[in-house]
Structure 1
Amino acid sequence: MMRTQTYIALALAAFLALPGGEATAASWRHERSMIGRPIERTDMRSDQNDAREGVRTGRIQPLGKVLRRVHERYPGQLLDAQLVDAGGRPVYLIKLMTPDGNVGIVSADAATGDIIDYRQGGR
């Protein structure tokens, strides 16, 4: 798990180093602040455990299932995904690199898997 997180962090750092990366990072931070706050963490694994427990109890959809629905409508390479609390409603924020090189941010209801919103964040 730590190796995967390291690779994701390196890939994201490399992406943000590209021209326009600063604006992309800022739009991602803005989007997260507009949608909701990250699920509270007391240790590195508690957010993952909360998500796992939510899937096990049927409260939220597995991220993989939601990603399949997102990719059907919005093709692209996954850059990041987070489970956030949007006023008591669990929401997946999914950041994609679209085929034309733009960054897309998808909000999906974690309970139903329905896509709530899509925004393009620039290159």
Structure 2
Amino acid sequence: MKTIENTRIDKAEYKRIMTNRINEVLESEKGTDFNALIFKGYIEKNGANNLVLSLNQEGHRVITPYGTRKWLTTDIREWVLREENQKNINKDLADIVITMINYTGKASFEQRLFRSMKKVFKL
């Protein structure tokens, strides 16, 4: 009989599985507007505050009471939820982004990403 101890994955293994999973989803989304805007330079760059900046640079005006340091804003949530911005989008990816945006607290981009993936993929 398997014990609970034996069924636990260590942190590194979990991180590897999650990273592969998000990369698969992002790979399948290459070339879509959604991927270009929401994940623009994210993983290469360094975190959540790039979303407001990159949306502004792309000409999507995003006004937030926090300037550019927060992406936990109704503006971005509404932008993501608007149907015309979700054409030809992998539903899982849309759900992950929406879940990430809705997380409160000071979690890092990576923590939010993993937490959202865990919820969406029911891992």
- Bucket of the pairwise TM-score, normalised by the shorter protein: under 0.3
Greater helix fraction, Structure 1 or Structure 2: 2
Q: TM-score, normalised by structure 1?
A: 0.27
Q: TM-score, normalised by structure 2?
A: 0.27
Greater strand fraction, Structure 1 or Structure 2: 1
